[in-house]
Structure formats: C-alpha cells, structure tokens
Amino acid sequence: MMTSNPIPRHLLLRQMILIRRFEERAAEMYALGKIAGFCHLYIGEEAVAVGAISATREEDYIVTSYRDHGHALARGASPNQVMAELFGKATGVSKGKGGSMHLFDVARNFMGGYAIVGGHIPIATGIAFAMKYLEKDAVVLCFFGEGAVPSGAFHESLNLAALWKLPVVYICENNRYGMGTPVERASALYDIGNAARAYDIPFHQVDGMSVTAAYQQMKEVIESVRVYKRPSFVEARTYRYMGHSMSDPAHGHYRTKAEIDEHKKNDPIFQLTQEMIQASEMTPSDLTKMEAEIAGIVQEAVDFAEASPEPALSALTEDVWVE
Ligand SMILES: Cc1ncc(C[n+]2csc(CCOP(=O)(O)OP(=O)(O)O)c2C)c(N)n1
C-alpha cells in the first residue's frame, strides 16, 4: 500500500460547500426560467468528485456524464463561467453552446460533460490510449452512474483498457437509481465489482459519503494506475437527494422521503463539519465565515451570468471542427 499525502480537510470542505451552494442557486435560477433545458444536480454526491479530483495532478484528465457541475467546480473551473454556461451565455465555460450537461474546460483537462448514458466511457478510454501512446504519465478519471454499467460502450471500453493496459480509473458513482429505476430492476449484475473482475481489472469500493475516505483511497488508486500503467475500477457508494433532473420530483413513486432522510444522516458536508469541529480544526464561527465567503462567490457567479451576453448567431458554426 502506498501512503497518501494528507490534504488540509478545510479545502475538501470548502469545495463541497461551494458545489452544494452553487447548485442550490442553480435550482433557484432554473425555477425562475433563467436556466433552460436539462439540469441534473449532484447534491448529496459531492464527496465523490471532490475526494477523487483532489487526488489528481494537473496533467490528469477528467471525463464525466451530464451530472457534471460538481466535477467541473472540483477541477477548478470558474464558478462564474460554469453559471454562465448554465444560463447559455457566451462567457460560459463552453461558450454558452453546451449548457448544464456539456461543461468543457480544455485548460483544466476537463473533457466534458456528456448526455448519452455510457457514451463518454469510450472517449475517456481513448484519451487513456493517447496518454499511453504519447508516453505521458497522466491518468484519466472517468465518472459514470451505475446505470451505465449494462451498456455495451462500458464493456467494450473495459475490455480494451485491460487488454492494452491503459491508465484510466473508471469511477462508478452508485447512487442506486437510474432516473426512477433502482439498480436491482435494471441490472442483472448487482455486485458491480463483478464487471471489473470479468475483465481482470482491480476493483475497489469507496464510501462515497466520506470525502476523506474517498480522497485517501482515490489517491492510492490513481498513483498505482500511474505507476503500474493499467486500469482500475472504483465503485463509490453515494446517494442523490434531488430528483433525477430539475424536471423530476425528489422521490415520486420509486423511493420515499423517509429513505432520503435516512441517507441525509450521512451527509458528507455535515459529517466532515462535525469531525473538524470535534477535532478543533475549525470553530462554528470559521464555518460561518467560510459559508459567507462562498455565498459571495455564488452571488458573483449569478450576477456575472445575468450580465453576460448571449452567444452571437455566428458562433453557431464556430468550434465545430478542431484540426
Ligand atoms: C443511451 C441513453 N439511454 C437513455 C438515456 C436517458 N437517461 C438519461 S439519465 C438516465 C439514467 C442514468 O442513470 P445513472 O447512469 O445511474 O446515472 P445518474 O443519473 O444516477 O447519475 C437515463 C436512462 C440516455 N441519456 N442515454
């Protein structure tokens, strides 16, 4: 086992609170009609993206699905530009042409933001192939929900990644539901680890409600992929508090409010806050200050998005092809 470098816990906490407060405002903006189209919130799952992405290096790559706000912010994308993208404004991280599901930040090796379930897994695998071909040390993190596991794209990708020994970490964010369908009604494979074992890929299970556990385990996994040049698979057990997207109710017929409340008892932000206060790493007044600072950042992001222009009509044909 490799030992991981400690990371100041207040940094992990700050990132999780930023994502939570950012998305709470995004939900308000959606209700006000400022954000159109699909909008999938990550609230409840923050510890996974923050833990994993905090364990990466600058040269590593991130690829994820449509539930991508948290990953982009954890990677350091500007809250102003992410909010502007949700508003469909020209100053957005994808120049207002991607929207919530298609955040993209090349400068930070954040390669999207994809709407087709499982469709981005071959893209991440292809980037890992490029890293190997170019003899780079970079590792690719590929996030997806458990709903993507039965897809053909997933299995084809794992096969080639194992066969060609590609530097990719597949991270299944298992929040137990694909839209309103529980995993046991959608997948013959209930133990997701069996998918990794089938391709002889090392498998790890992570508590996706604990940011420190996620960080420490991901650090070891990422560094072992970097050193040994072969893929790895992580299942992060997590839970989404909100509906599948902004147009869905939080529970509906497929789960109860009591079930959601039960999971909220393990809330990653609450857990870390309690731990840090008990360990005298933070006082309640430090937390209030952090919240106030983040509220200012989120307000600035909303103001920036509001004040930004729409993309010009001519932008429609720009960025379509890259030489
Ligand atoms: C190929 C494909 N089929 C169906 C859909 C519609 N769809 C969007 S999200 C989703 C559920 C996916 O669930 P999961 O992968 O577990 O991710 P989560 O939304 O829970 O993060 C479905 C079926 C789609 N986008 N792409």
Q: What is the DSSP string of 161-191?
A: HHHHT--EEEEEEE-SEETTEEHHHH-S--S
Spatial separation of the C-alpha atoms in residues 53 and 173, rounded to whole Å: 13
Beta strand residue intervals within the chain, DSSP E: 61-64, 110-113, 140-145, 168-174, 177-178, 181-182, 203-207, 232-237
260 pLDDT exceeds 60?
A: yes
Instruction: Quick: pLDDT tens for 271-310.
Output: 999 999 999 999 999 999 999 999 999 999 999 999 999 9
Phi, psi (rounded to 5 degrees) for 196: -70, -45
pLDDT of the residue at 180: 94
Is pLDDT of 227 > 90?
yes
Query: Which residue minimizes the CA distance to atom 18 of ligand 1?
Result: 145
Q: Tell me the C-alpha to C-alpha distance, in Å, between residue 10 and each of 7, 15, 130, 211, 287.
A: 9, 9, 35, 11, 10
Provide the β-strand partners of residue 64.
Answer: 113
For residue 6, what pLDDT is reported?
A: 77
Mean pLDDT taken over the chain: 96
pLDDT at 323: 74
Q: Which of 68, 101, 179, 185 to mutate to test the pocket of ligand 1 (most atoms within 8 A of CB)?
A: 179
Pairing relationship of beta strands 168-174 and 140-145 according to DSSP bridges: parallel
Residues 6+ apart with CB under 8 A from 204: 217, 221, 232, 233, 234, 235
pLDDT at 311 over 80: yes
Domains located in the chain, CATH noted: 9-298 (3.40.50.970)
Across the chain, how many H-helices and E-strands are there? 12, 8
Exposure letters 29-47 (e unless 16+ CB within 10 A, then b): bbeeebbeeebbbbbbbbb
User: Buried b vs exposed e over 278-289: b needs ≥16 C-beta within 10 Å?
Assistant: eeeebeeeebee
pLDDT for the residue 5: 55
Pocket test for ligand 1, best of 41, 117, 174 (most atoms within 8 A of CB): 117
Q: Which amino acid is at 5?
A: N
Among protein residues, the one with the nearest Cα to ligand 1's atom 7 is: 117
Distance CA(105)–CA(97), nearest Å, equals 13
pLDDT of residue 7: 87
Residues having CB closer than 6 A to ligand 1 are: 67, 115-117, 145-148, 175, 177-179, 244
Asked if the model's pLDDT at residue 161 lies above 90, the reply is yes
- List, for residues 15-59, the tens digit of each pLDDT value: 999 999 999 999 999 999 999 999 999 999 999 999 999 999 999
Residue 318 burial (C-beta neighbours within 10 Å; 0-12, 13-18, 19+): exposed
**Strands 177-178 vs 181-182: parallel, antiparallel or unpaired:** antiparallel
